[in-house]
Amino acid sequence: MAQTHTRTRRRGGHGALWKDAWRAIAGNSKRFAAIAVICAVGVMMMGALSSIGNDLRGGLDDFFDGTSMHDLTIVSTLGFDDDDIAAIRNLDGVADAAGQRTESAYTRIDGAQASATVSALNDRHLDEPYLQNGRLPKSDHEIAVTQQYLDDSGKRIGDTMTFTPETTATAVTAVADNTSTTTDSSEFDTSDTDSTTGTFDDGDYMIVGTVIDPNDIVNPSGPMALVSGAKTVYPLFVSSDAVVDTESPYTSVIVSVSGAKELNTYHEDYTTRVADTQKAIETIQSEREQARTNTVKDAIRQPIEDKLNEQKATIDALPDANPAKAVAEQKIADAEAQLSSKLDAIPTAKWIIRDRNALASYADVKTESEMISRLGKLFPILFLVIAILVSLTAVARMVEEDRQLIGTYKALGYTRHETMLKYLLYSASAVIVGGVIGDLIGLLGLPFVFTKRMLHILYVIPTYPLIIDWTIGIGGILLFLVLITGSAMVVCGGSLRLEPAELMRPKAPKAGKTILLQRIGFIWNHLSFLGKVTARNLFRYKSRALMVIIGVVGCTALMTAGFGMGNSALTLMPRQFSEIATYDVMAVTKPADHDKVQDDLDKDSAVKSTLPLHVESATLSAADGESGSSGSSSSSSDSGEKLTVQLMVVPDGESLDGYLDLHTTDGEPLTLKDSGTGDASGKAGAIVTANAAETLGLQNNSTVNLADAMMDDADIAVTGVAQYYTGNVVVMTESAYRQAFMADDASGSGTDAGSDSGDLQLNADLITVDGDDDAQISFADRLAEQDEYLSVVSTAKQTRDFSKSFMIFFVMIGFIVVMAAILAIVVLYTLASTNISERERELATIKVLGFRRKEVHGYVNKELLLLSVIGIAIGLPCGRGLLGFLLSQLDLPGMNIVPNVAWYCYAVAALLALVFTLMVEWATNKSLDRIDMVGALKSPE
């Protein structure tokens, strides 16, 4: 009967148990808030970083879809004709294909000559520029430009501009246009003649709109553009009506893949579909390469043969005894031999098929979004650990305060699980509240602010979608929920195993023990009374002391890493130009103008010294096996990651001393002669920079494929990996370059980097200049105003511009400091409040004994301050280690950020950690003042 009555009371008492559980939240609101805040920060960081990575990818995917961006692009050494386009369109998997006409040109910017690329809009609307203002060109003398062009030139929509095509014809144009006829003594000459006519009509063009080039979305004034150090090339877009000769070959073919637009450009199913279509194109590659080669040869052969045939008819009509007949027949025979030799020297057309990975912007976004997502998994771990510690402390104190209540519940017949419900509900509610707040901020607030304000510093993508991944949001809450409620169960389990009678009695205080410090008499005997009390208390509450230290270590380490990251980034460019690239100005010219400008530089009184060299843009990729060779098929080596690099070729006999200090990351010097020796296989050698080596997984003696600007490629040996902070560079000697690219000049299949005599074409100078930074910038500006220069870069100006553009790192530093402050304040306040609560009788006693208010404050605060100092001392080196780890995860294209923590970074981090400690002490001093001496000293009833 009694048992039945107890069960009835238990069933009727469940409502009271639930009420008690909910009241616990209100009665322990500070601890509840502490758990909620830490959980909110952890879930927020997990959701925010994952969402920002998704938004970045989604923004580029939407942008590409909106501009009908190509999925594949094909370039050829001999261009394309309509038959090539038609053949590609008829392939399975190809949605559409368009021929593209693009021409390198020059225009005037603020009185100086500037480089540009002029592209004709195609009638298939593929790769169509994104319209920002105005409209796209519709007639032959209308043009669309970028906002950067308007800003730099001071022009507006409605103004006119002009551009001039490069005077040196490309290989495609030179060969295709070599059909001129003459009637003088050179009528049988079949040598090449450069085309002086551009692809597009001459004259003024009216600016009708501003656009974004979908092939290059990097913000031209942002840090990524400044790091690359590449010359500014303005993209210009004209109508197809501006094309002078509509029968001229296309420079490239752009292809859209069937069904690819509906897929995310970074998903595996998109990659697979594009790869299948690329294989389909490769099935007709050899056939179309040969057909195009025959077409080009016929275009050269036919008009010359028609001249020759006319002359043959005239000669045949002459009498056999005419002495001029034999001479004329010999001239015709010589001309035919010359023509045959010329045709044989024309190489077979070579296609290079590339997907979107060839676009630097596409690869950059992929790399950065993956980096952000990785950080989204790493950062919350710290806050998860702290949340568990805070939860353990809060729940353990609640259980300790509820000993008698727990004993009563057990005496009334409540099970362990029913009694534990209160504490599980308490911790679970804190996690859910914090998690929901963290999701709202992390999935909605921070991504919105970041994409609206920060991503535009890096890219010119007009809009970003707000992609909410609820699986991340819910998963983060569940992760914290399981681990924190699990820790609460562990804490409760110990007390719930005790008998009701033991629980209802006050817990006996810990027995006093001799601490280690007491055994060191020299120190112990010189401590004051309060010092000895502090030492005893620290050893008495070892678990809480450890938690304080861990919290402060985490806070200090975060701030040290944050400040160190900013310092490492902001010193990136100064270190680059003080340690490695010690020249003051790099000036690039046309090869034909280099001798003239070199002579002018030699006479310039402001110039201290110059180093002439050959510079061009090249593509670096991991070699496909060890058997690659110059001119090999692109399809075999076009797999894997590719990097756009700056190739520097130094003439034999010249030294880099005073211009480039090439050394390994460990400081070992690298001599340029090493780059010309190659390896045991006989390959030409080159020095590559650390960022490129890390991206492609290269080391000494690795083999890498290098493709030059004319699409000739060669496998070269890596003879050194040089430290380089900004950009990707490959440095070779002239001998190594000749071995790799110019060995076949005699047959006509080599690169055009060599002149007719086989000399390396110099087109750049590294210059050291007298004067300070202002003088160097002024000197560079003076050179830029001269038409002979294509690009002039001042290292001093790059450094200044780079510092101004790195606002994103200041935002990251501020964010990390705020997170560290939240971490420190929550942990310290929770532990300090718990400490005061546990020692309330002790503190009441010393107040009764006559301790003044400040003395009571010092009695408690000294312990917290000492633990914080220990945490700071440990946290500073831990922060340096954390910085190294974070920078290893920051895979920023073209940047090799090396950890560099200045002394003031350590000082500010330590000072802020102390400030947070003092803030917590100030807040908890009020709790000390409110202790009721009479109530605290009453015996428990």
**Regarding predicted confidence, which is higher, 888 or 626?**
888
**Regarding predicted confidence, which is higher, 317 or 205?**
205
**How much of the chain, in percent, has pLDDT values that exceed 70?**
86
d(CA 838, CA 401): 9
Q: What local confidence, expressed as pLDDT, does residue 235 receive?
A: 92
**How much of the chain, in percent, has pLDDT values that exceed 90?**
16
pLDDT at 173 over 60: no
Helices 360-401 & 853-889 angle (0-180, nearest 10):
150
pLDDT at 755 over 70: no
Could you tell me whether strands 205-212 and 160-161 are parallel, antiparallel, or unpaired per DSSP bridges? antiparallel
DSSP string computed for 614-636: EEEEEEEEE-SSS---TT--HHH
Of 485, 482, 483, the C-alpha closest to 493 is 485
pLDDT at 321 over 60: yes
pLDDT at 910 over 90: yes
**Regarding predicted confidence, which is higher, 457 or 297?**
297
Buried b (16+ CB within 10 A) or exposed e, 625-653: eeebebbbbbbebbeeebbbbbbbbbbee
pLDDT at 223 over 90: no
Q: Which two tokens stand for residue 771?
A: 């004067």
pLDDT at 56 over 90: no
d(CA 597, CA 763): 10
pLDDT at 921 over 80: yes
d(CA 420, CA 935): 29
Q: Which two tokens stand for residue 729?
A: 């560079």
Q: Half-sphere exposure (CA, 13 Å, Cβ side) for 410?
A: 18
Helices 360-401 & 29-66 angle (0-180, nearest 10):
170
Of 440-454, 497-511, 836-850, the poorest mean pLDDT is in: 497-511
At residue 249, what is the residue type? P
**876 to 465, 860, 904: CA distances (angstroms):** 39, 25, 12
Of 927, 821, 924, 820, the C-alpha closest to 864 is 924
Could you tell me whether strands 585-589 and 685-689 are parallel, antiparallel, or unpaired per DSSP bridges? unpaired
Of 519-528, 674-683, 766-775, 897-906, the poorest mean pLDDT is in: 674-683
d(CA 724, CA 663): 9
d(CA 584, CA 582): 7
- DSSP code for 760: B
**Regarding predicted confidence, which is higher, 762 or 519?**
762
DSSP string computed for 849-908: TT--HHHHHHHHHHHHHHHHHHHHHHHHHHHHHHHHHHHHH---TTB-------HHHHHH
Of 320, 321, 529, 503, the C-alpha closest to 419 is 503
* pLDDT tens figures, 11-54: 545 667 777 777 777 777 888 888 888 888 888 888 888 888 88
pLDDT band, residue 630 (cuts 50/70/90): very low
Q: Which two tokens stand for residue 563?
A: 């400040």
DSSP string computed for 331-356: HHHHHHHHHHHHHHHSPPP-EEEEEG
Q: What local confidence, expressed as pLDDT, does residue 632 receive?
A: 35
Contact 730, 620 (CB under 8 A): yes
Q: Which two tokens stand for residue 81?
A: 């004709």
Of 277, 289, 283, the C-alpha closest to 77 is 289
Specify which of 387-396, 447-456, 606-615 reaches the highest per-range mean pLDDT.
Answer: 606-615
* pLDDT tens figures, 128-160: 999 999 999 998 899 999 998 998 888 999 999
Contact 579, 900 (CB under 8 A): no
Could you tell me whether strands 642-650 and 729-733 are parallel, antiparallel, or unpaired per DSSP bridges? parallel
Strands (E), 48-185: 72-80, 94-100, 102-109, 112-120, 130-134, 142-145, 160-161, 164-165
d(CA 360, CA 242): 29
Contact 58, 464 (CB under 8 A): yes
DSSP string computed for 415-465: -HHHHHHHHHHHHHHHHHHHHHHHHIIIIIIHHHHIIIIIHHHHB--S---
d(CA 244, CA 267): 41
Of 619, 618, 623, 617, the C-alpha closest to 637 is 623
pLDDT band, residue 471 (cuts 50/70/90): confident
d(CA 80, CA 100): 9
The structure tokens 């002024």 sit at 778
* pLDDT tens figures, 548-563: 888 889 889 888 988 8
Average of pLDDT values for 836-844? 77
Average of pLDDT values for 171-175? 34
Q: Which two tokens stand for residue 430?
A: 């804190």
Could you tell me whether strands 685-689 and 713-722 are parallel, antiparallel, or unpaired per DSSP bridges? parallel
d(CA 221, CA 228): 12
Instruction: Tell me if residue 701 falls in helix, strand or coil.
Output: coil
Residue 862 burial (CB count, 10 A): 17
**Regarding predicted confidence, which is higher, 903 or 321?**
903
Of 121-125, 487-491, 686-690, the poorest mean pLDDT is in: 487-491
Strands (E), 149-283: 160-161, 164-165, 205-212, 233-238, 250-257
How big is the CA angle at 38 (ends 52 and 485), to the nearest 5 degrees?
A: 110
The whole-chain average pLDDT of the chain stands at 80
Contact 239, 811 (CB under 8 A): no
Contact 71, 505 (CB under 8 A): no
Average of pLDDT values for 784-807? 78
Could you tell me whether strands 160-161 and 130-134 are parallel, antiparallel, or unpaired per DSSP bridges? unpaired
